[in-house]
Amino acid sequence: MVQSMISRRALVAGSAALPLVAIRTRPASAAEFTYKFAHNTATTHPLNVRALEAAAKIKEGTSGRVEIQVFPNSQLGSDTDTLGQVRSGGVEFFTLSGLILSTLVPNAAINGVGFAFKDYGQVWPAMDGALGAHVRAETAKRGLYAMSKCWDNGYRQITTSTKPIKTPEDLNGFKIRVPPAPLWTSMFKAFGASPTSINFNEVYSALQTRICDGQENPLAIIDSGKLYEVQKYLSVTNHMWDGFWLLANKRAWEALPADLRGVVEREFDAAGLLERQDIAKLNASLQDSLKSKGLQFTDVDASAFRAALKKAGFYSEWREKFGPEAWGALEGAVGSLA
């Protein structure tokens, strides 16, 4: 009797378990919207730290309805790859340099014009003002939504494994990695260098195996990406300021009810502002820290590098490409570049 009861229970439980397994298609979190956020920086970079904080606040602020999973280190693919995925909807959020975004939205490269921004006092009013508005509007035309606050990547510096770069002439024929974007290639060709386009997720190994003798990036990337392990010299050129647009797949963005969209953009923008402060602090502290990790620093006369670009026709070429609206917005923020 007892035996048959047990077996009947087991039978009932067993048969009930089957359909339960079959209908359990939603993830355990049971958020209404589970979105992926991909980026190329290391886990220790402020972009990743602030993105994770924003994701937690978004979950809280939407009572668990929106869950954002952050994938650092180009885990979901290279930048070029991920740009394709955020367009198709395979990834919902993605931070990308305006210059790489320019492979889809040509004028998004405008912030990368060499030596355009004297300092951050010129960068943020431009990116939060007319220049950024122009880029965001162009981006929207291509089916991507850009959050209103651009995150900081930083002022870029040249590192090498072979020799210190002191003058523009030192770049003659120099094998340098640049990110995959026409403005970068054009700029380093104007310096007389020999640039190769490589996505960031392959930069460490390209330097380690000497496919390239150098690269250029902000201090926070050089540090968090451990590029100091495979580079010996750093030249403080400040040749370009670069930022990350936080892009959303348009369909996924518009699928969020307006109140949730409001929470998401508010938290992302707040996190972006904090990330800007983090980078500013790192710029001050990382010089000593990178020196202690073995990088030898060289200060350069930036005006000589700028003159080399001008002589090569870099500014007139790009003024033409960007057109009067974008170029006018840039010069409105930084003064005449002619």
Q: Which residues contact ligand X2X by CB under 6 A?
A: 40, 97, 100, 153, 179, 200, 217, 221, 242
Write down the least CB distance from residue 51 to ligand X2X, Å. 14
Nearer to ligand X2X (CB atom), residue 106 or residue 328: 106
Write down the least CB distance from residue 89 to ligand X2X, Å. 22
Closest residue to ligand X2X, judged by C-beta, is: 200
**Using CA atoms, how far apart are residues 179 and 168, in angstroms rounded to an integer?**
20
Nearer to ligand X2X (CB atom), residue 62 or residue 201: 201
Write down the least CB distance from residue 196 to ligand X2X, Å. 13
Nearer to ligand X2X (CB atom), residue 61 or residue 195: 195
Write down the least CB distance from residue 90 to ligand X2X, Å. 19
Q: Residue 104 has which token pair?
A: 């889809």
153-179 burial, b at 16+ Cβ within 10 Å, e below that, comes to bbbbbbbbbeebbeebebbeebbbbbb
Nearer to ligand X2X (CB atom), residue 62 or residue 224: 224
Write down the least CB distance from residue 161 to ligand X2X, Å. 16
Length of the chain: 338
Nearer to ligand X2X (CB atom), residue 31 or residue 165: 165
Q: Which residues contact 99 (CB under 8 A, 6 or more apart)?
A: 108, 109, 111, 112, 179, 181, 183, 184, 242
- List Cα–Cα distances, 123 to 126, 250, 332, in angstroms: 5, 27, 12
Write down the least CB distance from residue 184 to ligand X2X, Å. 8
Strands 175-178 and 194-197: parallel
Write down the least CB distance from residue 10 to ligand X2X, Å. 57
Nearer to ligand X2X (CB atom), residue 40 or residue 139: 40
Write down the least CB distance from residue 36 to ligand X2X, Å. 18
Nearer to ligand X2X (CB atom), residue 11 or residue 280: 280
DSSP letter string, 90-125: SSSEEEEEHHHHTTTSGGGGGGGSTT--SSHHHHHH
Nearer to ligand X2X (CB atom), residue 102 or residue 217: 217
Looking from the CA of 217 toward its CB, the CA atoms found within 13 Å total 24
**Using CA atoms, how far apart are residues 311 and 75, in angstroms rounded to an integer?**
41
- List Cα–Cα distances, 80 to 40, 97, 185, in angstroms: 11, 11, 16
H helix and E strand count, the chain: 13, 12
The residue type at 278: D
Write down the least CB distance from residue 84 to ligand X2X, Å. 16
Nearer to ligand X2X (CB atom), residue 222 or residue 263: 222
Geometric angle at alpha carbon 109, from 206 and 276, rounded to 5°: 80
Q: Which residues contact 275 (CB under 8 A, 6 or more apart)?
A: 46, 47, 49, 50, 151, 152
